[in-house]
Amino acid sequence: MGSLSASLNIAAQSLDAEQTAIQTTTNNIANVNTPGYSREVANFEDNPPVEIGNLTLGSGVDISQVTSLRDAVLDLRVNQETQQQGALNSLVSSGQQIQSLFNETSGAGLQAPLTAFFNSLSALSANPSDPSTRQAVLTAAQNLASAFNQTSNNLTQIQQGEDLSVTQSVSQINTLTSQLAAVNVQVVAATGAGQNSGPLVDQQQQLLNQLSNLIDVSSINAGNGSLTLTTSSGAPLVVGGQSFQLTTQANPTTGFQDVYSQGTDITTAITGGELAGEIQTRDQQIPSILSSLDSLASTLATAVNTQNAQGYDLNGNAGGNIFVPPPAGGVGAAASLAVAITDPSLIAASGGPAPGSAGDNTNANALLAIQNQTIDNGQTPLNAYSNLVFQIGNQVSTAQSNQNSGSLVLQQLQNLQAGVSGVDINEESANLIRFQSAYTASAQISGIIDTLLQTTIDMVPVTA
């Protein structure tokens, strides 16, 4: 047989439970715009029934726990995609700076000074003894050297900018891993004490997502709620409450900052996030372009010098160097390309030493012919340059199209993630109405039971 006092108890428990549910709903609404927040639900559970005689009676409701709604698989996919996007964003951004140096469609780049140099030799061929035509050759050579110097220097500046970004990214990564280690400790404590760790997990995931934008990070749940983070190559970042700081150290050869983890150089093992993009631009893309420019500058300068030495200058002497000989191996040739002479009569246009053959243009024609010789890795100077332009444009174009498709995937994943975890005001409002009605009902039931109890009490006659 049931009892009024049991009913009153149930009504009181119900008031408690609805209050908790209302608080959860209110908290959800309050955090509707909080980044990384996952909506929480109060899990109602009916209390274990009581058996009274041959009756089994319900014993009210309780909130068993408040849980945050997350989908671990979606979280993982979002982080993986974020790592790729981070690297691509960095590559596209630096690629745009690089390609603007070679923007032949707007007249920038090396084609104009390169062609102008050969054109000046063509003009020399048509008028080999004219002083102003000779001076024009030196001017064109000077312009070509300056163009190589400037392009090379601008590339080096972009490279130095990327180097600075590497150091900044490492510092951000260290800040985030320290924060995550601290949150790990809190999660373990909360889990151990049986508390709701949802909000702390939100923080963990938010930090993990920020880290994913910077570096290829993989995470393993240690079982107690603590996240163990490593790079994809296995360098430790966070273990429990301890974060392992990355350090940078200047590379003795390049002078750029290498990334170290626990004394090991992991620079080339970083495959995701902005850090990977910065390292790729700094250590691969720009050096490759610089090396192509060096090759072009040094083979061209060497070919021109060699040919000039085959001819005779305006004074009938054998020709010397027009360009300062490039460094052996060509490294740094573009940055250091310079014209060796200031006297235009020293250009060896003539093919014969005979006095009075100032008007001979045999060697001027031979110098001009370098334009169509495959001097640079089997290519003419212009074709080599044109190929370089294609490669630079193609790298940016590929990165951009990957960035575009990746960002659509990421957006889709984030939508799915928010579909699970995002707060919907309408849904919360509907819940609120539900909890409010239940609360009101329970309160009224309490009043009714009070009346019933009064009725019961009134059954006993009052003795004066």
Partner 1 sequence: MSIRLNPDPLPDLLASIQQSEQNMNTASQQLSSGQSVNELSDDPAAAASVVLNHSQTSQDDQYLQNINTLQPGFQIADSSLNDVVTALTQALSLGTEGANGTLNDADRQAIAVQVQGIQSQLVSLANATSQGAYLFSGTAVATQPFTLNSTTGAVTYNGNTGVNSVQISNGNSIQTNVPGSQLFLNPNGNVFTAIQDLNTALQNNSNIGAAVTEIQNALNTVTTQRVFYGNALNQINSTEDFLNQDTVNLSTQENSLIGANLADAATNLAQAQTDEQATLNAAGRILSLPNLLTYLPPP
Give the residues lining the site for partner 1 (CB under 8 A): 95-96, 99-100, 102-106, 109, 111-112, 114-116, 118-119, 122-123, 125-130, 350, 352, 354, 356-362, 365, 368, 382-383, 385-387, 389-394, 396-397, 400, 411, 414-416, 418-420, 422-427, 429-430, 433
Closer CB to partner 1, 74 or 176, in the complex: 74
Structure-token match 């003894």, residue found: 129
- 36 by Cβ neighbours in 10 Å (0-12 / 13-18 / 19+) ranks as middle
Residue 94: CB minimum distance to partner 1, A: 12
Q: Tell me, what DSSP letter sits at residue 315?
A: T
Q: What angle do CA 264, 80, 409 make, to 5 degrees?
A: 150
CB 243 within 8 A of CB 180: yes
Closer CB to partner 1, 259 or 293, in the complex: 293
In the sheet with 236-239, reading across from the earlier edge strand, the strands are 217-221, 227-231, 236-239, 242-243
C-alpha distances out from residue 88 to 83, 85, 218, 277, 404, Å: 9, 5, 19, 6, 10
- d(CA 449, CA 212) in angstroms, rounded, equals 58
Closer CB to partner 1, 158 or 188, in the complex: 158
DSSP notation for 182-221: HHHHHHHHHHHTT---HHHHHHHHHHHHHHHHHS-EEEEE
C-alpha distances out from residue 159 to 140, 163, 172, Å: 29, 6, 20
The residue among 198, 238, 182, 181 whose CA lies nearest residue 215 is: 238
Residue 72: CB minimum distance to partner 1, A: 17
Residue 75: CB minimum distance to partner 1, A: 15
Closer CB to partner 1, 103 or 249, in the complex: 103
Closer CB to partner 1, 177 or 362, in the complex: 362
Closer CB to partner 1, 247 or 397, in the complex: 397
Closer CB to partner 1, 221 or 394, in the complex: 394
Residue 370: CB minimum distance to partner 1, A: 13
